[in-house]
């Protein structure tokens, strides 16, 4: 899950032209904290995540998502891919 959080935060920050230091100052955290989160070394707590979402004007779900890149449902031979649930 940390890769998803890091990607969402970095994408929002860079598309808005905000530096790590500017974001950290606005959130009241150390600038290195933003780097840790973006690299997936640390997950933000709920309060920090909510402040991030409010600052960027997006729902928290845009920063935190359980939807990773889709896993192929079938292998080349038509068998279910590892970890996929078989259809009934």
The structure tokens listed for 36 are 């840790």
- Please give the helix or strand (H or E) that residue 24 lies within, else none: helix 20-27
> What b/e readout covers 35-56, taking b as 16+ CB neighbours within 10 angstroms?
ebbbeeebebeeeebebbbeeb
- Four-way CATH pick for 2-57: 3.40.50.720, 1.10.10.60, 1.10.260.40, 2.40.37.10: 1.10.260.40
The 10s digit of each residue's pLDDT in 26-64 is: 999 999 999 999 888 888 999 999 999 999 999 988 887
Phi, psi of 74, rounded to the nearest 5 degrees: -135, 150
**Lowest-pLDDT choice from 2-6, 51-55, 75-79:** 75-79
Of 70, 29, 31, whose CA–CA distance to 51 is shortest? 29
- Reported pTM: 0.68
Q: Supply 21's token pair.
A: 């230091």
What are phi and psi for residue 80, nearest 5 degrees?
-60, 135
pLDDT, residue 45, reads: 92
């Amino acid at each position: 899950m940390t890769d998803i959080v890091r990607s969402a935060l970095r994408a929002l920050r860079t598309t808005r032209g905000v530096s790590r230091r500017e974001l950290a100052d606005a959130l009241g955290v150390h600038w290195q904290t933003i780097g840790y989160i973006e690299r997936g070394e640390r997950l933000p707590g709920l309060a920090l995540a909510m402040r991030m979402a409010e600052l960027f004007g997006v729902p928290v779900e845009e920063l935190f998502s359980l939807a990773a890149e889709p896993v192929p449902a079938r292998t080349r031979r038509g068998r279910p891919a590892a970890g996929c649930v078989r259809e009934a």
